[in-house]
């Protein structure tokens, strides 16, 4: 019997929202073509009426123009309905797509929640806390080792007030030593024998000059 009459499985699938939008757009496009055609006819009728005088011929053309205008208004109303239908279908398609995306997001979150629970089930918080404390102890021991290695063997660890006062008087002692050096420096200059003479060098014995003194002229 199924071979003769067919089965219910041979039924066509129901149209989707995308199919409905495409069909509505096609119908609206055909109506727009008709409206443009009627606009052309109305333009011709208007031109003919402008050239004719009042009479039976002009009245006949006017009646044709009125029928054409009624058809145009009817098509415009249908076009407005189709546009509204397209708008409603697009809103429904958008809502359906948003709902589909929401469901996909919820499913992904559920899967992530399962994975997180599975992974966190393998983690022991007490062990992590104990490891943290161990790390703190190790770091503290490392700091103590560094301080021990950086300790100087020649410098005493403790300094008393007497040492501090002695250190404070060191600059004064240095200043006094510098003043004494400046005061005794002139004695070394006096003990040095002069090597340069301002006037002629002194004459030795036996080198006296034999020049006679010049006669002094007297005037009477």
Residues 6+ apart with CB under 8 A from 72: 35, 38, 39, 42
Residue 82 located in a structural domain: yes
pTM value is 0.44
- Residue-level length of the chain: 220
**Distance, CA of 84 to CA of 71 (rounded, Å):** 20
Residue 7 located in a structural domain: no
Residue 206 located in a structural domain: no
Closest CA to 61 of 38, 40, 44, 39: 44
For the stretch 24-78, pLDDT in tens is 889 999 999 999 999 998 888 888 888 877 888 888 888 888 999 999 999 999 9
Residue 48 located in a structural domain: yes
Please give the residue range of the domain that contains residue 115.
Answer: 15-120
Mean of per-residue pLDDT scores for the chain: 76
Residue 81 located in a structural domain: yes
Residue 78 located in a structural domain: yes
For the stretch 147-168, pLDDT in tens is 888 776 665 556 555 655 555 5
Residue 158 located in a structural domain: no
Query: How many domains is the chain built from?
Result: 1
């Amino acid at each position: 019997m199924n071979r003769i009459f067919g089965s219910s499985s041979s039924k066509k699938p129901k149209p989707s929202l995308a199919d409905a939008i495409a069909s509505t757009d096609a119908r609206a496009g055909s109506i727009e073509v008709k409206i443009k055609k009627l606009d052309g006819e109305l333009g011709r009728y208007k031109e003919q009426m402008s050239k004719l005088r009042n009479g039976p011929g002009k009245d006949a053309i006017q009646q044709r123009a009125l029928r054409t205008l009624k058809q145009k208004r009817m098509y415009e109303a249908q076009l407005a309905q189709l546009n509204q239908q397209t708008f409603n279908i697009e809103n429904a398609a958008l809502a359906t797509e948003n709902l589909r995306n929401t469901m996909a997001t919820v499913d992904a979150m559920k899967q992530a929640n399962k994975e997180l629970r599975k992974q966190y089930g393998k983690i022991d918080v007490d062990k992590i806390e104990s490891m943290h404390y161990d790390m703190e102890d190790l770091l503290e021991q490392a700091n103590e080792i560094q301080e021990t290695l950086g300790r100087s063997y020649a410098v005493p660890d403790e300094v008393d007030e007497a040492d501090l006062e002695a250190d404070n008087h060191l600059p004064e002692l240095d200043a006094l030593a510098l003043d004494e050096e400046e005061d005794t420096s002139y004695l070394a200059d006096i003990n040095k024998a002069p090597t340069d003479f301002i006037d002629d060098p002194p004459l030795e014995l036996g080198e006296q000059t034999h020049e006679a003194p010049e006669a002094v002229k007297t005037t009477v």
